[in-house]
Chain A
């Protein structure tokens, strides 16, 4: 199993350009998440999905859109990139189980620089 994979690993954009980050998981997890990680800020939730065809806003959703057309894929879009969106983006997935916390499984991250 590959677990959670992210494409691309690195990207440099100019202000105003658009791009899509792809996340794929092969663990049949219901829940998927997009986070950004900035120095001193920890992980901040951008958007999440509780199942195929559903999405919801997290803590910092402005400037981003998401889609979950297939259970295994979660796409994060930047329509008009801004320098403030320079960050490391992590995708994660999780499942629900009785008697224990929801462990989130993370991808390797995408390093995005917006000039």
Chain B
């Protein structure tokens, strides 16, 4: 079993919909949780990060961590065609642990 599980999709939704992307993990020591966005034929780029449990909001994006369930989510409100990309979750134990553990990525398609 992988340390971090992520549904590869593709997830296809109409423009304007609320999108929910999720990852589950098995290592309870993870404390830092990140979401990277990767456009086709590009490198990933950091979208959001959260520390420990709780929510974090940035514009249309909300990252949520539930450590008791070992489950993290990324919500996208008012989704746009420009949000079409692959979203990868990544986690680490401590801030000084420079080795991230990655999910496989979920491909998201927003239909105009």
Contact B102 A48 (CB under 8 A): no
Q: Of all chain A residues, which has the CB nearest B43?
A: A106
- B34: chain A residues at CB < 8 Å are 101, 103
A48-B99 contact in complex given A42-B88, A43-B44, A101-B49, C-beta closer than 8 Å: yes
A101-B99 contact in complex given A43-B44, A109-B41, C-beta closer than 8 Å: no
Contact B42 A50 (CB under 8 A): no
A43-B98 contact in complex given A92-B43, A106-B45, C-beta closer than 8 Å: no
Rounded to whole Å, the gap between the CB of A22 and the closest CB of chain B is 15
**Bound form: Cα–Cα A96–B98 in Å:** 8
Inter-chain CB contacts under 8 Å: number: 60
Rounded to whole Å, the gap between the CB of A33 and the closest CB of chain B is 8
Chief secondary structure at chain B's binding surface: loop
Instruction: State the interface size on chain B (CB cutoff 8 A).
Output: 24
- B49: chain A residues at CB < 8 Å are 100-101, 103
Contact A102 B104 (CB under 8 A): no
Instruction: State the interface size on chain A (CB cutoff 8 A).
Output: 28
- A42: chain B residues at CB < 8 Å are 6, 88, 102-105
- Contact string against A for B residues 2-45, beta-carbon threshold 8 Å, 1 for contact and 0 otherwise: 00001010000000000000000000000010100000011111
- What are 25 contact pairs spanning A and B, CB under 8 A? A4-B43, A31-B98, A40-B8, A40-B104, A42-B88, A42-B102, A43-B44, A43-B102, A45-B99, A48-B98, A48-B99, A90-B44, A94-B98, A96-B96, A96-B98, A97-B95, A99-B95, A101-B32, A101-B49, A102-B96, A103-B34, A104-B46, A106-B45, A108-B43, A109-B42
